[in-house]
Amino acid sequence: MNKFILKRALASLVSLLFLVVAVFFLSRLTGDPTDLYLPVDASLASREQFRKIHGLDQPLMVQFFNYVRDLAVLDFGESIRRARPALDVVLEAFKWTLQLALITLFLVTLAAIIFGSLAAFRVGGMFDRFATFFSLIGASAPDFWLAIVAIVVFSVGLGWVPTSGTGTMMHWILPVTILFIRPFGLILQVVRSSMITALSAAYIKTARAKGAKAKSIIFIHALRNALLPIITVIGDQAAGMLNGAVIVETIFGFPGVGKLMIDSILQRDFSVVLASIMVTAFVIFLMNILIDLLYAVLDPRIRY
């Protein structure tokens, strides 16, 4: 097992490096930030000065070499926009994203497993139909639409919760709810479908036939068998959330990493783009290693 972890960690490190190289060069294909930062009527001299200050006047390979050299001592460079270390900017935002993602994921997982299993128990029953119907509507409704309607109804109309921002517990209710809806529908569907398969396995059928007493045992057994694809999907959703919930962050004024990344991409603030990718990638890689370990724990037959 230890050997596996070590191998995986090394492989992930290589992927991370590959990612850095790819993003470094690819992002620079999208143009020079100078024109975006200076007013359109800035003189040629100020343009050159700007490029010099930010090292953009040097050949790409030199820029890359400098970047890697600084990276070796964990210096992620400076944000052009904010004139402060890129890593600080990213960690500040990532803190919010991480909280939002963890809270939402916890609730989604819990709710989806409970409702999905219940739906799978009686396929085609009333509960199943309802759960499927509403979760699918949730999964395919545009989230900004839901978010604005929620603000209009619950903040402006009823005055129950603040419209946006981060001050108090109440501020978290709307963003978490909106962020919850889509993954809930998706994970519920996967839970349902893998539970159906698991429940129709022969040994479960026999157990089921033996009587209702065994129901909870059946549930645990079936769930255990169904868990692999469920974990995979949760992992995918988690990765998405760790990359930031752009719409929710934008509408609710939530200072997370998603909006930061978009702004930095559109503003060609390369160090921030790179730093945020490295931070999120690090966490995602870590999560993927954990997921692979979890596979092996849940299903002892799986060997790597």
Partner 1 sequence: MSVSENISTIETPKKGKIKTFFSLLWSDQFAFFAAVFLILVLTSVIFGPMLLDYDAGRQNLRGRNAAPFDFTRGWMWFLGGDQLGRPLLARVLVAAQNTIFVAGGAVMISMTIGSVLGVIAGNSRGRLGQFIPRIADVIMSFPSLLLAVIVLYMLEPSVSNIIIVLAITRIPVYLRTARAEILEIRERMFIQAAIVMGASKFRIIFRHMMPMLLPTLLTVATLDFAFVMLAESSLSFLGIGIQPPDITWGLMVSQGRPYLTTAWWLSFWPGLAIIFTTLSLNLISNWIRIALDPQQRWRLEIESKKND
Partner 2 sequence: MKKFKSLLLLSAFSMAAISGGSAFAADTDITIVLSEELDLIEPCMASQSNIGRVVLQNISETLAVLNPENGELKPRLALSWQDMGNGKWRYKLRDGVKFSDGTTFDAKDVKHSLDRTLSEDIACELKARYFGGMELKADIVDDLTIDFTAVPAQPILPLLISALTIVPEETPIKFTREPIGTGPYVLSAWNVGQNIILDRRDDYWGAKPEVSKATYLFRSDAAVRAAMVQTGEADIVPQISEELATNAKTDFAYPNSETTYLRLDHFIEPLGDIRVRKALNMAVDREAFLGTLVPKEAIIATHMVPPSTLGWLKDLKPLAFDVKAAKALVDEARADGVNVDEEIILIGRTANFPHATEINEALTQMFNDVGLNVKLQMREVGEWIDFYSKPFAEDRGPRMVTAQHDNSRGDPVFSMVWKYSCDGGQSGLCDKELDGLISKASAAAGDERAALWGPVFKRVHEDLVADIFLFHMVGFTRVSERLNYTPSISTNSELPLEEISFK
Residues of the shown chain interacting with partner 1 in the complex, contacts defined by CB under 8 A: 7, 11-12, 14-15, 18-19, 22-23, 26-27, 29-31, 123-124, 129, 132-133, 136-137, 139-145, 148-149, 152, 182, 185-186, 189-190, 193-194, 196-197, 200, 228-229, 231-233, 235-236, 239, 243, 246-247, 261-262, 265-266, 273, 277, 280-281, 284-285, 288, 292, 295, 299, 301-304
The whole-angstrom separation of Cα 192 and Cα 31 is: 47
CA distance 296 to 304: 8
Among 155, 177, 193, 232, the residue binding partner 2 under the rule CB under 8 A is: 155
Q: How far is the CB of 49 from partner 1 (least distance, A)?
A: 26
| Torsion angle of the four alpha carbons 138, 143, 147, 152, in this order, in degrees rounded to the nearest 10 | -80
Residue 158-197 contact track with partner 2, rule CB under 8 A, x = bound: -x--xxxxxxxxx---------------------------
Residue-by-residue DSSP string for 139-204: HHS-HHHHHHHHIIIIIIIS--S-SS-SSSTHHHHHHHHHHHHHHHHHHHHHHHHHHHHHHTSHHH
Which option in partner 1, partner 2, none does residue 58 bind, with CB closer than 5 to 8 A by kind?
none
Q: Is 124 a residue that touches partner 2 (CB under 8 A)?
A: no
Q: Which residues pair with 103 in a beta bridge?
A: none
Looking at the Cβ atoms of 12 and 163, the one nearer to partner 2 is 163
The smaller minimum CB distance to partner 2, of residues 240 and 255, is found at 255
State which residue, 214 or 262, has the beta carbon closest to partner 1. 262
Tell me which residue of 28, 180, 57, 194 sits closest to 109, measured CA to CA. Answer: 180
Name the token pair of 246.
Answer: 């752009």
3-state secondary structure of 78: strand
261 neighbors 276 (Cβ within 8 angstroms):
yes
Sketch the per residue contact string, 196 through 215, with partner 2: x for CB under 8 A, - otherwise.
Answer: --------------------
Rounded CA separation 59/61 (Å):
6
β-bridge mates for residue 85, sequence order = 78
Q: Which residues sit at the interface with partner 2, rule CB under 8 A?
A: 30-31, 35-43, 45-46, 49-50, 53-54, 79, 81-84, 89, 92-93, 96, 148, 151-152, 155-156, 159, 162-170, 250-253, 255, 259, 266-268
